[in-house]
Amino acid sequence: MDELHIVNTQFRSLMTQVPVANQLAPMQVVETEMDDTAGGILPAYEFEPEPESLLDALLPKYINTRIYAALIDAAASESARPAARHGRRATDNADEMIRTLTREMKLDPARLRSPRKSVRSSVARTRLAAAGSEV
């Protein structure tokens, strides 16, 4: 096996999940030039156990962790799908309610003639009911 890739969905928000492909192995090393401010002294690292045995122990854990993270991201994306679907349903229901109420308002000639009177009369009725309950 030359390369190991993982393809999954990445959770961004409830409405956005993006498919991504990541290369797990071989790992890509980014080499940078050394600062002149460090004085040209290289840091001394000592590996115990040897670097090969350390890498043999850490590489499987690294790959398992990356796969687990991809599965968690995919699970978050999948759990967001119903929420996004319900959001669309709520929008559709609100649009339908607006259409229905608009039709009802157009059919009620009393409200079309004097919308302020109907509001004033309902406010007055509320005040009278409140005054009657206080007595």
pLDDT digits (tens, 9 = 90+) for 51-97: 788 888 988 998 899 999 999 988 888 887 666 566 667 777 788 88
Q: Rounded to 5 degrees, what angle do the CA atoms 118, 121, 125 make?
A: 140
Q: Is there a domain that residue 28 lies in?
A: no
**Does 97 reside within a domain?**
yes
Q: Is residue 36 part of a domain?
A: no
pLDDT top residue among 34 and 41: 41
Does residue 29 fall inside a structural domain? no
Does residue 40 belong to any structural domain of this protein?
Answer: no
Q: How many domains does the chain have?
A: 1
Q: Is residue 11 domain-resident?
A: yes
Whether 44 is covered by a domain: the verdict is no
* CB-CB neighbours of 113 under 10 Å: 9
* pLDDT at 120 > cutoff 60: no
- Residue 125 has what pLDDT? 65
- According to the model, what pLDDT value does residue 61 have? 93
Predicted confidence at residue 91, as pLDDT, reads: 77
| Cβ pair 25, 6 in contact under 8 A | no
* Domain hosting residue 123, numbered range: 1-17+53-128
Residue 104 lies in a domain: yes
